[in-house]
Amino acid sequence: EKSRIGVTGLAVMGANLARNMARRGFPVAVHNRTTSKTTEFMKDFGDEGPFTGAETLQEFVDALETPRKIVVMVKAGKPVDAVIDELAPLLDAGDIIIDAGNSHFPDTDRRTAYCAERNLRFMGIGVSGGEEGALLGPSIMPGGDVAAYSEVEEILTTIAAQVDGTPCCTHVGAGGAGHYVKMVHNGIEYADIQLIAEAYDLLTHVAGLSAPEIGKIFEEWNSGDLESFLCEITAKVLAKTDDTTGGPLVDVIADQAEQKGTGRWTAMNALELGVPLTGITEAVFARTLSSLADERQKASTTLGGPTPGGGENRDDLVEDIRQALYASKVVAYAQGFAQMRAASIEQGWDLDLGSMATIWRGGCIIRAQFLNRIRDAYAEHPDLDNLLMVPYFTEAVANAQDSWRRVVTTATEQGVAIPAFSSSLSYYDGYRRERGPANLIQGLRDFFGAHGYRRTDADGSFHTRWAQDGAEVRTGD
């Protein structure tokens, strides 16, 4: 009997996705470039379900029913192209290649066109949830041709996480849409993590709490509005004792954050689209600043500033930080969703943003209670410009904002860096201003570059001859 689907690339993600499929009864053919990994896989997991281990790509392709459905789960970048090039000559018209790795969405568009020229169908699907998600139920963001999706829909929706009986998997849009949405998901993850790190920093240095004490606070927070996988694991990471020192493990982890690039892609895309995406972008910059360890070491004894600690009542401060975290998180999601909306319009993807919130409720790293509210917001207002404008979020942020402002003030006075908290608040204050200070920017641009400006009291564009006779001239409609 032929296999329903194939998986090539048996590192953690591919192996676990294949196991997830087979455990649910789908016959799966497995393959890996280095044959010994396939052999090992079959030895370790071969009896978990209906697997066929293939040593060569030809054997792999021959083991599959047609049209073939091949999940490629190899290292993102050139390896994906290499695998497509090796597979293409072995496949028949209509076969489907599914890239389930973290590919950059323009690459997915390019590969879709490349495969189409060879009469092959290509799908780029975002998979979130790490190793455990891949095995037990990830959040899946499939993009590409709808007819191709319908061929794998049953398998993908079955292996995905389920929340209230709804699979965390739905067709996202054409071409690179799935990988795009996965990219923004990862960007939001960066913002969420940065906000948590800032809360931890304030609780440590302003409130004077220890890691296990802060872990308990996150555990409490995890039963309220902030309920989320990231809060849950923050509690666990902070509670962990180090075997070597006997103190909290987190206290001896080096403070330099690494990144694989999806946050940077999200920020760069926001710059290209012209969407204000301050939370995610600050989160990327915060990681890059953290990596300047040697410079920070020198600066720490050279650059003056206050030493944080004490002041406010500790319980009030903890509650203020909780509220600031919530409000900033709302802003980060509002920005990420506004970005997806702008991209959808530009690319013609017709993204259903409520569905994106729905499929992120389970399986993925940013899964959170809060996403139910986002889903509801888009169900009621599909063309929403900004999540902050639905009554639920408008009120939530209004209620939190006194605390939010106190936290930003306290952190600033005490010298604790809070790029994500403070930029989110500035975004909020900028967004709610009917008239901001860009009038002056336009005046300056007109002065030095004759770039022109519009007036609030007349149509058309104008230029003032600032340095000549000072007269204003009309320059266009």
When the beta carbons of 11 and 342 are compared against ligand NDP, the nearer one is: 11
Residues 6+ apart with CB under 8 A from 426: 278
Residue nearest ligand NDP by beta-carbon distance: 101
- Encoded amino acid at 46, one letter: G
Residue 285 Cβ, how far from ligand NDP at the closest point, in Å? 22
Q: Where are the alpha helices (DSSP H) in 349-455?
A: 353-359, 371-380, 391-414, 419-431, 438-449
* 298 annotated active-site: no
Q: How far is the CB of 20 from ligand NDP (least distance, A)?
A: 13
Shortest gap between Cβ of 262 and ligand NDP (angstroms)? 8
The CA distance from 19 to 109, in Å, is 29
- Do the strands 139-144 and 5-8 form a parallel or antiparallel pair, or are they unpaired? unpaired
- Alpha-carbon distance of 16 to 194, in angstroms, equals 29
Question: Which residues contact ligand NDP (rule: CB under 6 A)?
Answer: 9-14, 32-34, 37, 73-76, 79, 82-83, 101-102, 127-128, 130-131
Query: Which position among 69, 182, 198, 282 bears the catalytic label?
Result: 182
**Nearest distance in Å: CB 11, ligand NDP:** 3
Cα separation, 55 vs 32, whole angstroms: 8
Q: Which two structure tokens, joined as six digits, stand for 133?
A: 């998600």
Binding residues: 9-14, 32-34, 74-76, 102, 128-130, 185-186, 190, 260, 287, 445, 451
Instruction: Give alpha helix (H) positions in 3-145.
Output: 12-23, 35-45, 57-62, 78-87, 105-117, 130-136
Q: Which is nearer to ligand NDP, 183 or 207 (CB)?
A: 183
Round to whole Å and give the CA distance between 140 and 127.
Answer: 5
- Nearer to ligand NDP by Cβ, of 83 and 148: the residue is 83
Report the binding-site residues for NADP(+): 9-14, 32-34, 74-76, 102
Q: Which residues are known binding-site members for substrate?
A: 102, 128-130, 185-186, 190, 260, 287, 445, 451
Instruction: Give the whole-angstrom CA distance, residue 282 versus residue 285.
Output: 5
Among candidate residues 69, 151, 189, 198, the one labeled active-site is 189
Minimum gap (Å) between residue 286 Cβ and ligand NDP: 21
Taking the least distance from each CB to ligand NDP, the nearer of 126 and 173 is: 126
Q: What are phi and psi of 222, to 5 degrees?
A: -70, -5
182 tagged catalytic: yes
Helix/strand/coil for 392: helix
Q: Which is closer to ligand NDP, CB of 265 or CB of 453?
A: 265
**Which of the residues are catalytic?**
182, 189
